[in-house]
Amino acid sequence: MAFLQFEGGRIHYVDKGEGPALLFLHAFPLSSAMWNKQANDLKDAWRVLAIDFPGFGKSDRLARPASMEAFAQVALALLDAAKVERAAVIGLSMGGYAAFELRAMAPGRVGALALCDTRATPDTPDGRKAREATARAVEEDGCAVLAERMLPNLVTPNAPPALKRDIEKLITENSPEGAAAALRAMALRKDFTGSLKDIDCPTLVLVGDHDTLTPPSDSQAMAQAIPGARFESVHGAGHLSNLENPKDYDAALRSFLDAHRARL
C-alpha cells in the first residue's frame, strides 16, 4: 500500500503498471477503489496512479478546510512523489472539478485530460444550501445517509444489485467528517466555464448516456467549448459510467489515450 505525506497527513494512492502515467481522480463520495477495473485493464500499457482525496478511502483529512484547490495540490504532490512530469488526468465528477483546478494550476503537468460525468459550472445558491444540509446530516448520521440519498442518481435503475452493493460499501467506508468537508468544498468550487476555451491539451469528454446528474446534453455543450475536444457517451450507463459499463468506458478512454500517447 502506498502513501505520501501531505501537510502532516498521510495520503493513500494506487500505483500500478509501467508506461506513460495516468492520474485518476475519483468521484464523491467514493475513493480510488472506484478505479480498480480501469487500473487492471490499463496497467498493461500505462502507469496507473489513483489517489484517495483527503478524508476519503485510506487518506487522512486535511488540517485546513477542504477545497478543490487543496485536492488539486494533493494530486500534484502525488505526481511529484511518483516523479511524473506529465500525466493524462482523468477526473470523474468531483474528480473533474479537481482536474479543472489542477490544469489551471499546472497546465504543463497535464498532457491530456479526460473529463467524465462532470461539469465546469459551479453550484447554484440553492445547491449550496442543499450541500450544507447534507453535510450536517452526514455529520449526524454517517455516510449511510449519502448512500441512501445518492445511489439512485449514481447508476441507472437497471444496474445489477451487486454493483449497487459495491458502491454502497465504498461510500460507507468513508469518514463522515471527510465527506462533509468535501461537500462544503464542492459548494465553494469555482466556475470554470469561461476557461474551457483555454484548455489546449487533447481532451475527452465522456459521459454515461443515462447520466441524470451531469446529462449528456450538458457534457456535449462543454465539449463544444473546449477546442478540439472529443465527445463520447457510454452506453447504458448512469453517472458512474466507469463502474456501470467499464467495457465501453475503458474502450473509449484507451482509444483516446492511445491517440495521444506521444504527448505523455
Binding site for ligand MLT (CB under 6 A): 27-28, 93-94, 186, 213, 239
Please identify the residue of the shown chain whose CB is closest to the bound ligand MLT.
93
For the bound state, the minimum distance from the C-beta of residue 19 to ligand MLT, rounded and expressed in Å, comes to: 27
Q: Which one, 43 or 184, has the nearer CB to ligand MLT?
A: 184
Q: Which is nearer to ligand MLT, 89 or 186 (CB)?
A: 186
Task: Give the nearer residue to ligand MLT in terms of CB position, either 20 or 29.
Answer: 29
Q: Pick the closer one to ligand MLT by CB: 14 or 99.
A: 99
Question: Closest distance between ligand MLT and the C-beta of residue 227, in Å?
Answer: 25
The rounded distance, in Å, linking the Cα atoms of 104 and 68 is 12
Shortest reach from residue 98's CB to ligand MLT, in Å = 10
- Our CB check for ligand MLT shows the closer of 84 and 182 to be 182
CB of 133 to ligand MLT, least distance (A): 13
Q: How far is the CB of 183 from ligand MLT (least distance, A)?
A: 8
| CB within 8 Å of 59: residues ≥ 6 apart | 9, 10, 11, 12, 51, 52, 53, 178
Shorter beta-carbon distance to ligand MLT: residue 133 or 259: 133
Residues with Cβ within 8 Å of residue 15, at least 6 apart in sequence: 2, 47, 48, 49, 82
What is the SS3 string spanning the chain?
CEEEEECCEEEEEEEECCCCEEEEECCCCCCHHHHHHHHHHHCCCCEEEEECCCCCCCCCCCCCCCCHHHHHHHHHHHHHHCCCCCEEEEEECHHHHHHHHHHHHCHHHEEEEEEECCCCCCCCHHHHHHHHHHHHHHHHHCCHHHHHHHHHHHCCCCCCHHHHHHHHHHHHCCCHHHHHHHHHHHHCCCCCHHHHHHCCCCEEEEEECCCCCCCHHHHHHHHHHCCCCEEEEECCCCCCHHHHCHHHHHHHHHHHHHHCHHHC
How near is the Cβ of 118 to ligand MLT at its closest, in Å?
8
253 touches 206 (CB < 8 A)? yes
Q: Is the CB of 27 or the CB of 159 nearer to ligand MLT?
A: 27
Shortest spacing between CB 106 and ligand MLT, in angstroms: 22
| Nearer CB in complex with ligand MLT: 12/239 | 239
Tell me how far, at minimum, the Cβ of 239 lies from ligand MLT, in Å: 6
